[in-house]
Amino acid sequence: MNLQLLLDTLADGQFHSGESLGEAQGVSRAAVWKQLKKLEALGLECHSVRGRGYRIPGGINLLKRAEFEAQLSTVAASALADISLALILDSTNRVALEQAQRGGSHGQLYLAEQQTAGRGRRGRVWVSPFARNLYFSLTWSFAGGAAALEGLSLVVGLALLQGLAGEGIEGVQLKWPNDLLYQGKKLAGVLLEMSGDASGQCQVVIGVGVNVAMPEDMAVDVDQPWIDLQQIAAKPLDRNRILAALVNALVPALQQFGQQGFAPFREAWSQHNAYQGQPVRIATESFSVQGDCVGVDSGGALLLATDQGIKAFYGGELSLRLLDDA
């Protein structure tokens, strides 16, 4: 029995009899029951009522390739070489990076309803419940190697913010170098990984995770304050529409960045800097520096006004905190 077809049927939140579910796929009711147990393993609640059948309370908003593609802009659609949608992956970034190392195409988009080993920056676990949030990775080719990628994570974050703003999600801010915050709580994150020549042509895997409708019981594993789009919008949201809005904003930003670097994005990024003008601490395992955040330079480096003057800090294993929270 096809699990995807079962999900498609139960996604409407209505009751469906075991008999009708079995007939639809030509299997026994026992086979249906076994598949329903798999839904529970995915973390989906499935109600059974004698005489009525089975349903997923409230339904589920599944990603649908056709619905997503129908909402892509001409620019975005022409830039995507292929779209891969999986029910479950360990990590969209791992799959994308593996394919890139095998010579995968520029513009490959990898989507998953759930990640079993989603990762954030600095090795953090990214909690990835089934069909509730957005998890995707996009491969993109750049010339000029690692040096040409300065500020890329900031551009990605800004594009995501602008995509959300186009859907009426206002008030999102950017935390250097790769987080989206709302009222100080994490809404989304970006993880970049590179394959290829560090001094020449390279492919970057752009991993994105966005909290859309995070279940409270899943959030116990999140180690920082968080929020999701549904809380901000105070209404259910269509993940296909949000995904299309994000990709529609991301693709032209990547195209411009490839030609002009970070400099054209600097002013817009600074306007949404969550810590602009505030006292912060930036630290690694070996050092810690305090100062006032005064923005970023034309290469995307974070600028702190310290007792020793303006200091610039580039991405890497750095931790940035408001001084009150550090």
Catalytic residue selected from 55, 121, 132, 239: 121
**Gap between the Cα atoms of 142 and 194, Å rounded:** 10
CATH number of the domain within which 300 lies: 2.30.30.100
**Count of domains in the chain?**
3
Judgement on whether residues 175 and 288 belong to the same structural domain of the protein: no
Judgement on whether residues 177 and 238 belong to the same structural domain of the protein: yes
Each residue's pLDDT tens digit, 164-211: 999 999 999 999 999 999 999 999 999 999 987 777 888 999 999 999
Residue 21 identity (one-letter amino acid): L
pLDDT computed for residue 43 by the predictor: 86
Judgement on whether residues 128 and 86 belong to the same structural domain of the protein: yes
Judgement on whether residues 180 and 279 belong to the same structural domain of the protein: no
Catalytic annotation on 94?
A: no
Judgement on whether residues 287 and 309 belong to the same structural domain of the protein: yes
Catalytic annotation on 121?
A: yes
Judgement on whether residues 203 and 313 belong to the same structural domain of the protein: no
Structural domain contains residue 294: yes
Task: Tell me what the mean pLDDT of segment 35-41 comes to.
Answer: 87
- Taking the chain, what is the end-to-end CA distance rounded to the nearest angstrom? 52
Judgement on whether residues 15 and 82 belong to the same structural domain of the protein: no
Catalytic residue selected from 94, 119, 132, 186: 186
pLDDT computed for residue 266 by the predictor: 97
Judgement on whether residues 184 and 300 belong to the same structural domain of the protein: no
DSSP 59-97: ------HHHHHHT--HHHHHH-SEEEEEEEES-HHHHHH
Judgement on whether residues 115 and 254 belong to the same structural domain of the protein: yes
Q: Which domain holds residue 305?
A: 275-322
Q: Which residues contact 216 (CB under 8 A, 6 or more apart)?
A: none
Structural domain contains residue 174: yes
Each residue's pLDDT tens digit, 144-161: 888 889 999 999 999 999
Catalytic annotation on 281?
A: no
Q: What confidence category does residue 1 fall into, taking pLDDT thresholds of 50, 70 and 90?
A: low
**Gap between the Cα atoms of 68 and 84, Å rounded:** 12
Q: Mapping DSSP to helix (H, G, I), strand (E, B) and coil, where does residue 287 land?
A: coil
Structure-block tokens of residue 104: 């995968």
Judgement on whether residues 208 and 284 belong to the same structural domain of the protein: no
pLDDT computed for residue 244 by the predictor: 98
Judgement on whether residues 166 and 307 belong to the same structural domain of the protein: no
CATH number of the domain within which 33 lies: 1.10.10.10
Judgement on whether residues 106 and 232 belong to the same structural domain of the protein: yes
* Element containing residue 153 per DSSP (H, E): helix 152-165
pLDDT computed for residue 219 by the predictor: 61
